[in-house]
Structure 1
């Protein structure tokens, strides 16, 4: 437990630093939205490209990893739709609960995997991102369409935003460079790696800045349902599947880590743009991020 806490502790401290900066509104209210765009569109894609383009992906059991992670996401996404009437949530509330249950914070996931298992963890995490990001984004946009919350936002615009997702494009580029044997020759590798190194610490601070402590006052059946799925049921199922399929230690830890991650802070933006309940989304993001500081070490200790 001490090694797990030692690996994840600095990550949580960076998130808390970001929360303090956000509370103090330092350096300004307009600074962090621009920084988040830089991280999302430049730094984090650079990290994914540099990792996937040069990694020995043959060491990652891609098929079994995909089966463990994607089957768990698909199962709980389906169950939430089946239980929608029982939860008695409005369409806008349901889309936020759905996002809270199936989305994951990539910054915390990749940083945690690298902290736990070094370059092997980072490589496996990059593969997990490549597998999960397209599927999760399609599921979330589909939930807005099916719930009827899009309003004036056309399905075409939503799908175009999905196609232009920088994380999806970065994964495709990195995998293409790897499979083609081109890689990142010469100065390109060092340049892209330097950009990528800035992504995780800044991304973790940005996660903290995005937290809304006042939103914690909202505790209802939607919050309880999505937190139960994301922080308890999802990791329990993934851990069972990982043991059943015989994943190696690194792949098992990364799968469990991604299953137990809090939801993505970008879910708040999607909720605002596509007609979700943004305030409920803020409560879910904040609550899950803080609770994950307790649940993540627990699940990793139980798994290993």
Structure 2
């Protein structure tokens, strides 16, 4: 347990540092939204490109990893949709519950995988991101369409945003550079790697800044359902899948880590843009991030 908490502890401390900075609104109210854009559009894509372009992806069981992660995500997405009547939520609230159950915080996932298993963990996490980001975005936008929370004009806009998603484009670029054996020639490798190194610490601080402690006062059926799926049922199913498909320890740990991650802070923005329940989304994001500080070490210790 000590090695796991030693690896994850600094990540959670960076998130808590962000929460303190966000509470005091330091250095200003306008600073962190711009920093988040820099991280999302430049630094994190650079990290993905540098990892995927030069990695030995043959060491990652891509097919089995995809079956584990995408299979669990699809099953719980369908389960939630079938249970939407029982949950008795408004369409807007249901989309927030859906996002809370299937989305994942990429910054925490990649940082955690690297802390636990070094370069191989980071490579496996980058592959997981390449597999999951396109699928989870399509699933979430589809949930808004099916729930009818916005008009047809927004569908095209959302589809275009999906196509231009910087994380998807970065994964495609990195994989393309890897498969063509171009890699990152000359100074480009050192430059892109330097940019990428800034992504994870700043990303974790930005996660903390985005937390809304006041939102924790909202506890209802939707919050309990999405937290139960994301932090308990999803990791349990993924763990069973990793055992059935006999994943190696590194791939197993990364799959379990990504299954047990709290939902992404970007889910709040999507909820605001596409007619979801933004207040409920804020409560889910904050609650899951804080609870994950307890549940993530538990799940990883279970298989250590």
TM > 0.5 between the two? yes
Distance in 2 of aligned mates of 1:271 and 1:33: 17
Work out the number of aligned pairs and report it.
304
State the distance in 2 between where 1:124 and 1:197 align: 17
How do 1:99-248 residues align onto structure 2 when only pairs under 5 Å count?
99-151=99-151, 153-248=153-248
Tell me the secondary structure at the aligned position of residue 270 of structure 2: helix
In 2, Cα distance between equivalents of 1:226 and 1:267: 13
CA contact (8 A) 2:130 2:171 kept: yes
Q: Secondary structure at the match of 2:255?
A: helix
| Matched ranges for 1:1-304 at <5 A | 1-151=1-151, 153-304=153-304
Q: Secondary structure at the match of 2:183?
A: coil
Scaled by the length of structure 1, the TM-score of the pair is 0.99
Conserved in 2, the CA contact under 8 Å of 1:11 and 1:111? yes
TM-score scaled by length of structure 2: 0.99
Q: Secondary structure at the match of 2:150?
A: coil
RMSD between superposed Cα atoms in Å? 0.6
Q: Following TM superposition, by how much is the alpha carbon of 1:210 offset from its aligned partner in structure 2, in angstroms?
A: 0.1
Q: CA deviation at 1:152?
A: 6.7
* Distance of 1:51 and 1:150 partners within structure 2: 37
Gaps of 5+ in 2: none
Contact 2:103 2:263 (8 Å CA) reproduced:
yes
- Output one character per residue of 1:244-279: Cα deviation in whole Å (capped at 9) or x when no partner: 111001000000000000000000000000000000
Map Cα deviations across residues 133-156 of structure 1 (whole Å, 9 max, x no partner). Answer: 000000000000000001375211
User: Is the 1:253–1:300 contact (alpha carbons within 8 Å) kept by the matching residues of 2?
Assistant: yes
Change (3 A) 1:24 1:153: farther
- Unaligned segments of structure 1, at least 5 residues: none
1:161-200: CA deviation from partner (whole Å, max 9, x where unpaired): 0000000000000000000000001100000000000000
Q: Work out the CA distance in 1 between the residues paired with 2:98 and 2:272.
A: 14
Structure 1 distance, partners of 2:159, 2:78, is 21
Query: Distance in 1 between the 2:279 and 2:35 partners?
Result: 23
SS at match of 2:28: coil
Shift of residue 303, structure 1, vs aligned partner: 1.8
